Structure 1
Amino acid sequence: MSPGGPPCNCVLCHDYGDRHRMDTFLLRTIVHISEYGWSVVLVQPERDRPGWAYTIGLWHSHRAPELAMFGADVYETEEILNTLGRASAAGAGPLDGERRPETVRGHDAVFRSVDARWYRPLFPGAVSFHRRPPLPFLQLVWPDDANAFPWDPDGKRTTQPWTWLPPAHHPPSPWLPR
């Protein structure tokens, strides 16, 4: 059972009657969350879309927002999300709108709340585990090598989605649902 009051809607806190039909991904996720408090899902790059990673279980275990990061090497991203997961477990997780120094490659990062319309296309594992989103999700937005964020005039606009916007208001990019 998750901390801090009533159970959440996840597959660990609520019996949906389908435990005998869970796939390997969900079973492995449950083991990671039971053992470590969260799991990090890596999504490899494909065609025109960079890779990304996201957490599952921070909400269940620590009532901290799930986290997502896009556009960097997925193994580097996994390390960053695990570092932030440990901070969340210690009660020092990021907040919406927060700017944290030296979070990615010595640069600051900004955390933005994810619009729930992005959950199914970008975080299907979290939807499968939590069953009844929305739940809090934050995107870690990081600057390019010139220290420009995606919204800056000189920032790279397609390496990271703008998940704080509804998909219908997102600028053209490979991130829009297909």
Structure 2
Amino acid sequence: MLEASRICHCVICHDYGDRGDYDPGDHGVIENVGQFGWSVTGVPADEEGPGWAYTIGRRHSRGEPELAMFGLDVGVMQSCLNTLGRRDDLADGQSHDGVINGYPLHLREVEPDWFRAFFGQAMWFYRRPPVPVLQVVWPDRQGAFPWDTGSLAQPHLWLTPEKHPPGVWTQDV
């Protein structure tokens, strides 16, 4: 269940005594959260595996879960997360249209055990992870979702790491 408390332990709300150590990326996240309410961090695909993107700051600014998306072009995922990020009351099990042309997206609650593997900059920002995260799950071109086909094009973070099928997404867990 997503945490109901709005207590925020982020670097904006608390001085952890290390503000002089922030790099330009850290300052960029803080500026984006201040200006837009969240920031989107993209992790590009590389020789080890597909890319992903996730929000930082929705919990701080809106009391809403963070969002994460995997396996598509980082720019596409950032755009999708920004579109969804403007919506309120996002929750596990919801379906959303109007984000990717012609395809619905589903939201699934991320198991907290995945936080360290995928959300490093959010860990820095919040300092007391995990915070609630919803995975934005996309269908294949035929409209089938990973739970329909077993596809590992995107991770199944609604499962615990022990129950997740082995593959590229589980190598760092």
Letter in 2 for 1:51: G
Secondary structure of the residue that 2:146 maps to in structure 1? coil
Residue 102 of structure 2 is matched in structure 1 by 106
Does residue 1:67 correspond to 2:67, yes or no?
A: yes
Does residue 1:34 correspond to 2:34, yes or no?
A: yes
Displacement of 1:6 after TM fit?
A: 6.5
Letter in 1 for 2:164: H
Q: How many residues align?
A: 168
Displacement of 1:28 after TM fit?
A: 1.2
Q: List, as ranges, runs of 4+ consecutive aligned residues in structure 1 with deviation greater than 3 Å.
A: none
Does residue 1:169 correspond to 2:126, yes or no?
A: no
Aligned 1:3-18 pairs, distance under 5 A: 7-18=7-18
Displacement of 1:24 after TM fit?
A: 2.2
1:72-129 deviation line (CA, Å, top 9, x unaligned): 1110111111111112xxxx24211112234323211110111111111101011110
Q: Which runs of 5+ in 2 are unaligned?
A: none
CA distance in 1, matches of 2:171, 2:124: 18
Does residue 1:51 correspond to 2:51, yes or no?
A: yes
**Contact 1:84–1:93 (CA<8 Å) still a contact in 2?**
no
Q: Of 129, 148, 155, which aligns to 1:152? A: 148
Which deviates more, 127-136 or 41-50?
41-50
Q: Of 82, 96, 105, which aligns to 2:92? A: 96
Displacement of 1:177 after TM fit?
A: 3.7
Secondary structure of the residue that 1:140 maps to in structure 2? strand
CA distance in 1, matches of 2:162, 2:132: 20
Residue 134 of structure 1 is matched in structure 2 by 130
**Contact 1:121–1:177 (CA<8 Å) still a contact in 2?**
no
CA distance in 1, matches of 2:61, 2:107: 20
Secondary structure of the residue that 1:172 maps to in structure 2? coil
Which deviates more, 19-28 or 112-121?
19-28
Residue 78 of structure 1 is matched in structure 2 by 78
Identity of aligned residues (%): 46
Letter in 1 for 2:100: V
Letter in 1 for 2:39: S
CA distance in 2, matches of 1:72, 1:64: 24
**Contact 2:83–2:99 (CA<8 Å) still a contact in 1?**
no
Displacement of 1:150 after TM fit?
A: 0.7
Question: So what's the TM-score if we normalise by structure 1?
Answer: 0.88
